[in-house]
Amino acid sequence: MRIGVPTEIKPAERRVALTPAGVSDLTGRGHEVVVQAGAGLGSHITDEDYTAAGARIEADAQAVWAHADMIVKVKEPLPEEHGHLREDLVLFTYLHLAADQDLTQAILDAGTTAIAYETVQPDTGGLPLLAPMSEIAGRLSVQEGAHHLLSPAGGRGVLLPGVPGVDRAHVTVIGAGAAGTSAAHAAVGMGATVEIYDISLPRLRYLDEIFGGRLQTKMSTPLDIAASVQRSDLVIGSVLIPGSRAPKLVTDEMVAGMRRGSVLVDIAIDQGGCFEGSRPTTHTDPTFAVHDTLYYCVANMPGAAPVTATRALTNATLPYVARIADRGWKDALGADTALGRGLNAAAGRLTNKPVAQAFGMEHIAVAEAVAG
């Protein structure tokens, strides 16, 4: 199979979809890998590194997309890239279609086979291709929140761990999945007072055990979230329903009652955000004001740590990329239910029910798409 790796064009996105080690693995299996010139520079990977691993370098994105049977990316195609989509192409990347009707329609119109990292899900649960980026985003959410709580960044002027004789910052984490747990680890490690909310009592029991009582676990209800938001210096939203738009758990009314200079970080922004006032921002312009608070809603948070994130992403995605390349997408998805759940669209038809529901569209079963 011919596998293409284009340069990411999302603002301040410095990750790349494959490391040279990933390229070496795929070329060793007999596949051809074409990388756009400069695609890895943001992650400190040179064209020479890729060439030494067996890749071919192409000067522009058009040549990479046109040559490939499968495109492997980090972020969803932006409007400038929609013209590259075509019927005989497999696209394997983060898609978050439920938050992007224009991209969904472009994929359907082109007939592209679209497989989303974030909906690959084993029978045992979990999201193995989303987890490494969620872990990075969770840790970054606390770093960014701590920074923006400082007065020069527009915050309340609160130091997250406090000092002897002065209160620590109060941090509320909504959602106890991979991102929320990583955020809680970082916030507890920095000495903040932390509450974490989730709808799963077994998950809360697990967190209570591993943290040894160093944070407060609470069942997620609107009333309790509202009370916690009111007393928080930093609120981190990390709610995820695989393939669906994120529910709005923090309302505008809640935020209106927060103290001036409090900060809210929405990790769920790729899926539409879990705060009522959220809208996507970039690393170059990361925050905006809502009432007297600051919202941080960067849609590609792990892109701030590309050296770490690129390697973590390849570690997770490479076995699945190799499976698709070795067997073709139909055989690979038919033999692996986890990978099958990653299929969002094929031959102009949606196969992801939450995406179809988000836009009032029809969908077909993955099995039907694979058989067809």
Is the pLDDT at 255 greater than 90? The verdict is yes
DSSP letter string over 231-291?
Answer: T-SEEEE----TTSPPP--B-HHHHHTSPTT-EEEEGGGGGT-SBTT---BBTTB-EEEET
**pLDDT recorded at residue 102:** 97
If pLDDT is split at 50, 70 and 90, which confidence band does 146 have?
very high
**pLDDT recorded at residue 109:** 98
User: What average pLDDT does range 1-28 have in this prediction?
Assistant: 97
Which stretch of 41-45, 66-70, 125-129, 276-280 has the lowest confidence by average pLDDT?
125-129
Contacts of 95 (CB under 8 A, 6+ apart): 76, 103, 114, 116, 117, 118, 344
Which residue is catalytic, options 31, 96, 148, 170?
A: 96
Strands 343-346 and 349-350: antiparallel
| pTM over the 0.85 mark | yes
**pLDDT recorded at residue 252:** 97
If pLDDT is split at 50, 70 and 90, which confidence band does 243 have?
confident
Would residue 96 show up in a list of annotated catalytic residues for this protein? Answer: yes
Strands lying side by side in the sheet with 170-174:
216-219, 193-198, 170-174, 234-237, 263-266, 293-296, 287-290
Would residue 270 show up in a list of annotated catalytic residues for this protein? Answer: yes
User: What average pLDDT does range 62-66 have in this prediction?
Assistant: 97
Is the pLDDT at 307 greater than 90? The verdict is yes
User: What average pLDDT does range 84-111 have in this prediction?
Assistant: 97
How distant is the alpha carbon of residue 186 from its chain centre?
A: 18
Q: Is the dihedral of CA 219, 220, 222, 227 positive or negative?
A: positive
Is the pLDDT at 372 greater than 90? The verdict is no
Is the pLDDT at 125 greater than 90? The verdict is no
Tens of pLDDT along 269-301?
999 999 999 999 999 999 999 999 999 999 999
Which of 122, 124, 120, 145 has its CA nearest to residue 133? 120
How distant is the alpha carbon of residue 52 from its chain centre?
A: 30
Which residue is catalytic, options 170, 266, 270, 363?
A: 270
Contact 32, 2 (CB under 8 A): yes
User: What average pLDDT does range 64-74 have in this prediction?
Assistant: 98
User: What average pLDDT does range 202-215 have in this prediction?
Assistant: 96
**pLDDT recorded at residue 229:** 97
Is the pLDDT at 241 greater than 90? The verdict is no
Is the pLDDT at 345 greater than 90? The verdict is yes
User: What average pLDDT does range 99-124 have in this prediction?
Assistant: 96
* Angle (deg, nearest 10), helices 131-148 and 306-327: 160
Radius of gyration of the chain (CA): 21
